[in-house]
Amino acid sequence: MASSTGSLEHGGFTFTPPPFITSFTELLSSAGDMLGAGADQERSSPRGLFHRGARGVPKFKSAQPPSLPISPPPMSPSSYFAIPPGLSPAELLDSPVLLHSSSNILASPTTGAIPAQRFDWKKAADLIASQSQQDGDSRAAAGGFDDFSFHTATSNAVRAHTTTTSLPSFEEEQQQQVEKAAVPSSNRASGGGNGNTKLEDGYNWRKYGQKQVKGSENPRSYYKCTYHSCSMKKKVERALADGRITQIVYKGAHNHPKPLSTRRNSSGGGAAEELQAGNSSLSAVAAAGCTGPEHSGATAENSSVTFGDDEAENGSQRSDGDEPDAKRWRTARTRAALQAAAASRSASPGWWSRR
DNA sequence: GCCGTTTGACCATAG
DNA sequence: ACTATGGTCAAACGG
């Protein structure tokens, strides 16, 4: 649905990208481009800004050179970000807004952690200004974002953005969100068995792979939502140096509400606690659709669901959280694995022939 | 024993 | 057909 590239609205807070921005990645890439990265785009991204993924669907590909920090446009952040009257900063902490910071974009992906206290707008502006000068690139002018603004909204849940310029792929079931973030490594899941896999978005994730991707010095981790039958996945790129997350790409959609955060996992506070403590950090959101992936069955087709509803849903959701589901899922998976193993022992092809 | 991460290998797709 | 690359799997490992 067209809304997948449309406005973001949450709790009276709306983000409407300009028509020329067909995806947040593009937006983010544009930021990099404006910093002079454009000339290196092809080099840093062998397959271009977007590369073709499976089934010919354009997939996100960051054009950001590995060492180039994502920076905000050289304009006053306040020009496109403002807290609507009646909306407290605390509420914003749970709103899927997009913010830029000097080296990252602050936002809430699906839940929205906005460590506002960590963000220094002036610093960001100064940085971008200096970088623009350094590059001598006129594209760094703020004009590119003139049409880019946050709007405060009053109520209506979803204002489906009926732009007709959305990419077909975004109209399909899969939604991808790209986040650029800077997350203190101390907040990250601490390897081993008890890592907090909730990260900051309130969902439970299980890491199922890691790769060193071409064109980036940062390893990319692959996560799946542990919720039973949820197809949501995300890719997280983390800086080797400090462990900060440099990019998060969401793929798919949650088919369940956000799990309750009242339960603490073995590693300490849950996502909610982290958020409230303000030391978590997912920073940017770039929802490919106006619905967050957390919406039940939120496909691009039925994305006219409200974030507000989601929040309400989260507050009153059933008590069986996702942990049991995760366990069930795990158990089922283990069982399946055992069965497969048994089968392979009797038959012959190994696990590698599963496909 | 449970549960999540790590890691090497395999597969799919694009060029 | 071949190569490069990204995505996924699952055994091994560790807390």
pLDDT tens for residues A150-204?
333 333 333 333 333 333 333 334 445 655 544 433 333 333 343 444 546 778 8
Give the mean pLDDT of A221-238.
85
**Residue A267, amino acid:** S
State, as a whole number of angstroms, the distance between the CA of A279 and the C1' of C13.
Answer: 30
Q: How far is CA A336 from the centre of its chain?
A: 31
What is the three-class DSSP state of A182? coil
pLDDT at A177: 62
Pick A15 or A193 by higher pLDDT. A193
User: CA–CA separation, A193 vs A267, rounded Å?
Assistant: 9
State, as a whole number of angstroms, the distance between the CA of A84 and the C1' of C6.
Answer: 41
Query: Cβ-count burial of A269 within 10 angstroms (0-12 exposed, 13-18 middle, 19+ buried)?
Result: middle
Decide if A234 is inside a domain.
yes
Q: How far is CA A287 from the centre of its chain?
A: 7
pLDDT at A256: 81
pLDDT at A103: 38
Owning domain of residue A212? 205-251
Decide if A142 is inside a domain.
no
CATH number of domain containing A221: 2.20.25.80
Q: Is the pLDDT of residue A275 over 70?
A: no
Q: Is the pLDDT of residue A247 over 50?
A: yes
Q: Tell me the per-residue pLDDT of A29-61, one tens digit each, with 9 for 90 and over.
A: 444 343 333 333 333 333 333 333 333 333 333
State, as a whole number of angstroms, the distance between the CA of A40 and the C1' of C3.
Answer: 24
> Residue A208 CB closer than 7 angstroms to strand C?
yes
Closest nucleotide to A59: CA versus each C1':
C6
Q: Tell me the per-residue pLDDT of A64-123, one tens digit each, with 9 for 90 and over.
A: 343 333 343 333 333 333 334 344 333 333 443 333 333 343 434 443 333 333 334 444
State, as a whole number of angstroms, the distance between the CA of A173 and the C1' of B1.
Answer: 39
Q: How many helices (H) and strands (E) does chain A have?
A: 8, 10
Q: Which of A115-129, A201-215, A276-290 shows the lowest per-residue confidence on average (mean pLDDT)?
A: A276-290
Decide if A323 is inside a domain.
no
Identify the residue whose tokens are 């001598």: A136
Decide if A238 is inside a domain.
yes
pLDDT at A306: 34
pLDDT at A229: 75
A62 vs A24, A34, A251, CA distance in Å?
10, 14, 15
> Residue A349 CB closer than 7 angstroms to strand C?
no
First CA to last CA distance, chain A:
32
Decide if A239 is inside a domain.
yes
State, as a whole number of angstroms, the distance between the CA of A207 and the C1' of B6.
Answer: 10
State, as a whole number of angstroms, the distance between the CA of A194 and the C1' of B1.
Answer: 15
Decide if A163 is inside a domain.
no
Pick A198 or A245 by higher pLDDT. A245
Pick A230 or A13 by higher pLDDT. A230
For chain A, percent of residues with pLDDT exceeding 70: 17
> Residue A167 CB closer than 7 angstroms to strand C?
no
Closest nucleotide to A195: CA versus each C1':
B4
Mind giving me the DSSP string for A205-249? Answer: EEEEEEEE-TT-SSEEEEEEE-STT---EEEEEE-TTT--EEEEE
> Residue A332 CB closer than 7 angstroms to strand C?
no
* Nucleotides of strand C within 7 Å of the protein's CB atoms: 4-11, 14-15
In chain A, how many domains are there? 1
Decide if A244 is inside a domain.
yes
Decide if A62 is inside a domain.
no
Best mean pLDDT range from A6-20, A75-89, A144-158, A314-328: A314-328
CA neighbor of A148 nearest in space, from A336, A287, A329, A18: A18
* Nucleotides of strand B within 7 Å of the protein's CB atoms: 2-15
